[in-house]
Structure 1
Amino acid sequence: MIQFGTGGWREIIGDKFTRENIHRVAHALSSMKEVKKVVIGYDRRFLSKEACFWFIEALASHNIKSLFIDGSSPTPLIMFATKLMGADFGVAITASHNPAIYNGIKIFTSDGNDAPLETTDRLSEIANNVSEEELNNTRKFYEVEHSNLFEKIHPFNDYIDSILNSLNVDAIRNAHLRIAIDPMYGVSESALITLLSSVRCETTIINGQHDTLFGGRLPSPASASLHRLMDLVLQKQYNLGVATDGDADRIGIIDELGNFIHPNTLLCLLYYYLLEFKHWKGAVVRNIATTHMLDKIAEKYGEKCIESNVGFKYISENMRKYDAIIGGESSGGLTVKGHIGGKDGIYAAALLIEMICVTKKSIHTLAKELEEMFGTFYFSENDYRFTPEKKANLVKMLFEEEKIPAYENIEKAYYADGLKVLFKDGSWIIARFSGTEPVLRIFAEAGSRDKTDEYVKMMEDLLDIKEDEKI
């Protein structure tokens, strides 16, 4: 079965990520509405470019024109191009930060945003019911390649110029920054180098070559994956280290001391920067598993913090609904009003660089000042694998029985995108199934590490999670 999750459709290559299933998705997209043209691009994963051609074959069978981005591209560039070209849909062949054995498809609407739930649910339903006759009549790429249904496009310069036009370029140029970049063998290298060179930053690249195995590690810019970047920044005294995930929609930052700065902190820093230094006004949107420091910042400036389900499509939707100025998630994805509606690790890096140049303070110093103003927030992330039988039990406990822990300090417990428990001291914990991987996730935030550990243990006991199920 083809099933789109919070971050698109992702499957193991050769298992469910096959030519036939890609045809199914493309045929389904073709029947969603009257579609005339689709922007399509790909990342550096194994079979990504070939999968583009397979997708184009099925689109052409419905006389739909494909605007093909010639060369591996960041997902945010594909989103930008979808809106720029006035396409009916955008398609990115990527599995983002998933392991190398995965590939997948992300779908974007004509405004360049992540397709909403009703669109992807309908797409899944149609894809699973595509007839054998329709599959058998799919055209071949060599028949389409030189027809009027296929065009190569080059939106790179427009994308870079759009970001540059939003920045305080003079402030960055006058700072003479030295920045180390780790694309994690993904697609951000050209964009980051072009962007940073334009504002006169000195740059060094590691892990920039094409490697479909991502150097044998997960292409996710988390602290466990960025030790080489940490060492480089510290040893060579760079002002900043910037990493992006496989398709460049998530960001990881290393400060000048070689420390990993958690995405929660980055999101808080940027919201504070927009309010305090750029004098913007507006709400912030976070998902249910992202820091509540954002709530405190919003309160200080008389603004609102809007909570959404996990999945950037929900953040984008709420940003439009509440006219918010920034939205993001604890996994490293964020977007800012005036740019694309989806997350963009390249733009996020550029805005963070502007921030340290305008404030004339390092990321490390700014993070400490934020902590002094709004308090210390300790964040815990925990993943668990399970058998199909165990998942059935977890689903029953979480969504049928709606179990709630017996804990005296609970202020509120509710089920939305999983079970979230708020405590009277402002701390919280949530248990939910990942929408991109077959895992259960438990997040907790409190004023001390001991408290987060206590709350995680409480949730593990409630759900009868065993030690050997922890990842």
Structure 2
Amino acid sequence: MIQFGTGGWRAVIGDEFTKENIQLLAKALSNKMKDEEVEEKGMVIGYDRRFLSKEAMQWAGRVFAAEGIKTYLINRSSPTPLIMFYVMKHEFPYGMMVTASHNPAIYNGIKVFTEGGRDADEFQTKALEEYISHVKKEDVREMEYEEALKNGMIVEINPLNEYLDNIISAVDMKAIRDRGLKVALDPMYGVSETSLKTILLTARCEVETIHDRHDTLFGGKLPAPSAHTLRALQNHVIDKRCDIGIATDGDADRIGVIDDTGRFLHPNDILVLLYYYLVKYKGWHGPVVRNIATTHMLDKVAERFGEKCYEVPVGFKYISAKMQETDAVIGGESSGGLTVRGHIKGKDGIYAASLLVEMIAVTGKKLSEIAKEIETECGSIYMEERDYKFNQEKKEQIYQILMLDKELPELNFDIDKISYLDGCKVYFKNGGWIIARFSGTEPLLRIFCEMPNPEDAKQLCNLYEEFLKLK
């Protein structure tokens, strides 16, 4: 059964991620396009470096071609934000990206984008699931790939330069050139190697690259930037005395950063740095949007500049929708995805990385210095994060306790309010908070907690761990 989560449809290769299911999805989407009378506008599909990604793109393309829908296939592995940009720029009604983003190598999946290059929202994905449920295996037709190329129903394209030029035009390349920065780049065996490196070299940065070969197993590691997975980048920044170390996840929609001192910057810190920079140093005005599990330090920075911070459920589609509604400067999530006003309507690690390099050049300050500046002006808050694997029985138990019975452990802090918008989030009167929610992309229960001091944050997570019998 094909079901969409917060990051699209993801499944284990050879289990549910199969040619049959991929083509069922393509047939269902082609039916939806015909019902909406948008099939004449065509379809665009891209793919990442995962095992079977290119083949999956072609399998889907052959179905669209057989259904009379002209399909544009990216002829090289590409960042997810490139597809979103292309859908937006060329006004496609839909687009698809074959990727499982930061999931383990045994997974692959498909993200669906709608008009404007947005992540398909829950209304759209539920409708698509309904279409899928009505497609029978014998309904699926496919056109031979070479035949589709010959008759123009499939067109191979390479819009990389178009995407890169869009970013280059939005970034202060002169400031970066004048600064002569040294950047360590870790694509994590993913798709950013060409795109981000091209931008950095165009800006005359000295680029030190690691983990850039094509490896469908991602070097045996999770292709998700974290303190654990970026140890090699951390050492590289220190050894080579780089100004910044930048990593991107498997499909380059998220980033991880090592600062000039070799410290791993949490995605929360990256969001705070960029919002502060755009408002204080670039003179932008407007609110910020974060999801329910992202740092409230953004609230503090927004308050410092007389702006608002808006909270939405997890899922970047909610962030992009609220950004459009409020004309926000920036929106992002604690897992490392963000976008900026005037850019695409989804996460873009390539653009985020380019902005961070610009920030160092324009301010003339090191990342560590800007972080201290923010702490001096806006204060600080400490986050504790924990992930727990579970089986279906345990998931049902936790859901019953938190969401249905609405039980909580005995908390030693005054509660301001409780939200069940996405998981269970408790807000405290001292400005702290704790949330427990199930991941939409992996079988994990995630607990995030922020408090004015780290000891209280750890204590609260321990309380939840004991209360829910997670260990």
Alignment TM-score > 0.5, same fold: yes
Query: How far apart, in 2, do the equivalents of 1:394 and 1:261 lie?
Result: 31
1:248 aligns to what? 252
Cα contact 1:220–1:246 (8 A) shared by 2: yes
TM-score for the superposition, normalised by structure 2: 0.97
3-state SS of paired residue (1:90): strand
For residue 462 of structure 2, the aligned residue among 438, 443, 457 is 457
Matched, 1:198 2:202: yes
May I ask how many residue pairs the two structures share in their alignment?
465
Runs of 4+ with deviation above 6 angstroms: none
1:125 aligns to what? 130
Deviation string 1:101-145 (CA, Å, 9 cap, x unpaired) is 00000011121111111001111221132123212x333334323
3-state SS of paired residue (1:223): coil
1:152-301 to 2 correspondences below 5 Å: 152-301=156-305
Matched, 1:76 2:81: yes
For residue 67 of structure 1, the aligned residue among 65, 72, 77 is 72
2:19 aligns to what? 19
Deviation string 1:151-204 (CA, Å, 9 cap, x unpaired) is 111211111111111111211111000101000000001111110111111101
Query: How far apart, in 1, do the equivalents of 2:429 and 2:161 lie?
Result: 50
Query: How far apart, in 2, do the equivalents of 1:156 and 1:186 lie?
Result: 15
2:436 aligns to what? 431
Q: CA deviation at 1:100?
A: 0.1
Deviation string 1:310-348 (CA, Å, 9 cap, x unpaired) is 010110011011111100011110000011110100100
Cα contact 1:186–1:246 (8 A) shared by 2: yes
What's the RMSD between the two structures over aligned residues? 1.2
Deviation string 1:344-396 (CA, Å, 9 cap, x unpaired) is 00100110111111110011111111112222221111111112111111222
Query: How far apart, in 2, do the equivalents of 1:45 and 1:162 lie?
Result: 26
Deviation string 1:238-265 (CA, Å, 9 cap, x unpaired) is 1111100000000011111111111111
1:30 aligns to what? 30
Query: How far apart, in 2, do the equivalents of 1:140 and 1:405 lie?
Result: 60
3-state SS of paired residue (2:156): strand
3-state SS of paired residue (1:445): strand
For residue 449 of structure 2, the aligned residue among 438, 444, 449 is 444
| Residue identity matched to 1:154 | N
3-state SS of paired residue (1:145): helix
2:366 aligns to what? 362
1:387 aligns to what? 391
Query: How far apart, in 1, do the equivalents of 2:6 and 2:451 lie?
Result: 26
2:334 aligns to what? 330
Query: How far apart, in 2, do the equivalents of 1:415 and 1:463 lie?
Result: 17
2:316 aligns to what? 312
Query: How far apart, in 2, do the equivalents of 1:285 and 1:331 lie?
Result: 14
1:51 aligns to what? 56
Query: How far apart, in 1, do the equivalents of 2:155 and 2:91 lie?
Result: 14
3-state SS of paired residue (1:454): helix
3-state SS of paired residue (2:119): coil
| Residue identity matched to 1:269 | L
3-state SS of paired residue (2:56): helix
Q: CA deviation at 1:9?
A: 0.3
Query: How far apart, in 1, do the equivalents of 2:380 and 2:396 lie?
Result: 37
Cα contact 2:304–2:378 (8 A) shared by 1: no
Cα contact 1:82–1:112 (8 A) shared by 2: yes
2:2 aligns to what? 2
Cα contact 2:53–2:108 (8 A) shared by 1: yes
Query: How far apart, in 1, do the equivalents of 2:439 and 2:98 lie?
Result: 20
3-state SS of paired residue (2:150): coil
Query: How far apart, in 2, do the equivalents of 1:20 and 1:68 lie?
Result: 19
Q: CA deviation at 1:63?
A: 0.6
Q: Comparing 293-302 with 16-25, which one deviates more in the overlay?
A: 293-302
3-state SS of paired residue (2:384): strand
3-state SS of paired residue (1:68): strand
| Residue identity matched to 1:394 | I
Cα contact 1:404–1:413 (8 A) shared by 2: no
Cα contact 1:230–1:260 (8 A) shared by 2: yes
Query: How far apart, in 2, do the equivalents of 1:142 and 1:24 lie?
Result: 21
3-state SS of paired residue (2:434): strand
Unaligned 5+ runs, structure 1: none
Query: How far apart, in 2, do the equivalents of 1:67 and 1:138 lie?
Result: 16
| Residue identity matched to 1:86 | E
TM-score for the superposition, normalised by structure 1: 0.97
| Residue identity matched to 1:260 | F
Query: How far apart, in 2, do the equivalents of 1:140 and 1:3 lie?
Result: 28
Cα contact 1:24–1:128 (8 A) shared by 2: no
Give aligned-pair identity as a percent: 53
Query: How far apart, in 2, do the equivalents of 1:106 and 1:48 lie?
Result: 12
Cα contact 2:102–2:223 (8 A) shared by 1: yes
For residue 104 of structure 2, the aligned residue among 76, 79, 99 is 99
Unaligned 5+ runs, structure 2: none
Query: How far apart, in 1, do the equivalents of 2:207 and 2:153 lie?
Result: 40
